[in-house]
C-alpha cells in the first residue's frame, strides 16, 4: 500500500515538473502571415532556435515499458505530445509499476537553459550526476525520483517506479538508455 502511495505522489510530482517545463520554455516559435504578400514566416523562439515537435510516446514506447516492467504494460489516457505514461499491474496485485517521460524538445539553447535552471529552481541542491548515458548531461533527483537528461534540443525527464529493478534510479537509467537510442 505504501509503495502505491509513493507512486501516486511521484506521478503528481511529475505533473508539477511537466508544468515547470512549459513555464521554463519561454516563447514558442510563432507562424505569421504577411497581409500584403501572403507569405508565411516563423518567428524564432526566445533562444533564437525554432521549436520542433515532440511525440513522447514515440520515445517511450510500449515495448520499452514492457522491457522495464518485465511484464505487460498499458498506456494511460493522459498522454500528450510532450508526456507519456505506462503502467503495469500483475493480476495477483503483487507488483505495480509506472513509467513517465516528459520531453521538452525546444532547441539546444533553451533545452540547456531549462535543464540547468531546474537543477536548482526545482530540485534544489538534491541532485546526483549520472554518467554512462548517450546524452550531453544527466542528473537524478532522488527526492522526486526523477532522471533529467539533456540531449541536443531535448530536455527529458524520466520517472520509472517498479520492483523489477533494485532501485527506482536503476529503473529510470535503464529506461533512459532505451529511450536515448531512439533519438537521432
The CATH number covering residue 131 comes to 3.40.1000
pLDDT at 91: 72
Residue 176 is assigned to a structural domain of this protein: yes
> Could you give the CA distance from residue 38 to residue 70 in angstroms, rounded to a whole number?
54
Residue 30 is assigned to a structural domain of this protein: no
pLDDT at 176: 98
Residue 103 is assigned to a structural domain of this protein: yes
Residue 40 is assigned to a structural domain of this protein: no
Domain of residue 144 covers 2-24+52-180
What total number of domains does the chain contain?
1
Residue 32 is assigned to a structural domain of this protein: no
Q: What are phi and psi of 120, to 5 degrees?
A: -105, -40
Query: Can you list the residues of the chain whose pLDDT is less than 50?
Result: 1-53
Residue 33 is assigned to a structural domain of this protein: no
> Could you give the CA distance from residue 95 to residue 4 in angstroms, rounded to a whole number?
10
User: Which residues make beta-bridge pairs with 110?
Assistant: none
> Could you give the CA distance from residue 64 to residue 54 in angstroms, rounded to a whole number?
18
DSSP 44-111: --TTSS------HHHHS-HHHHHHHHTS--EE-TT--SSEEEEEEE-TTSS-EEEEEEEEEE--HHHH
Residue 70 is assigned to a structural domain of this protein: yes
User: Which residues make beta-bridge pairs with 41?
Assistant: 32
Which of 135, 134, 136, 160 lies closest to 147 in space, CA to CA? 160
Amino acid at each position: 500500500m505504501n509503495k502505491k502511495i509513493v507512486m501516486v505522489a511521484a506521478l503528481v510530482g511529475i505533473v508539477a515538473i511537466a508544468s515547470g517545463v512549459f513555464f521554463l520554455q519561454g516563447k514558442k516559435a510563432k507562424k505569421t502571415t504577411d497581409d500584403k504578400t501572403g507569405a508565411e514566416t516563423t518567428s524564432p523562439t526566445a533562444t533564437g532556435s525554432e521549436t520542433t515537435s515532440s511525440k513522447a510516446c514515440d520515445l517511450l514506447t510500449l515495448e520499452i515499458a514492457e522491457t522495464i516492467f518485465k511484464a505487460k504494460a498499458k498506456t494511460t489516457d493522459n498522454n500528450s505530445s510532450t508526456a507519456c505514461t505506462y503502467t503495469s499491474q500483475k493480476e495477483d496485485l503483487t507488483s505495480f509499476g509506472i513509467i513517465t517521460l516528459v520531453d521538452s524538445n525546444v532547441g539546444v539553447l533553451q533545452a540547456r537553459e531549462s535543464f540547468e535552471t531546474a537543477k536548482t529552481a526545482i530540485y534544489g541542491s538534491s541532485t546526483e550526476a549520472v554518467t554512462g548515458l548517450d546524452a550531453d548531461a544527466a542528473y537524478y533527483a532522488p527526492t522526486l525520483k526523477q532522471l533529467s537528461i539533456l540531449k541536443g534540443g531535448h530536455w527529458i525527464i524520466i520517472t520509472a517506479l517498479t520492483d523489477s529493478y533494485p532501485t527506482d534510479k536503476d529503473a529510470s537509467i535503464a529506461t533512459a538508455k532505451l529511450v536515448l537510442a531512439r533519438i537521432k
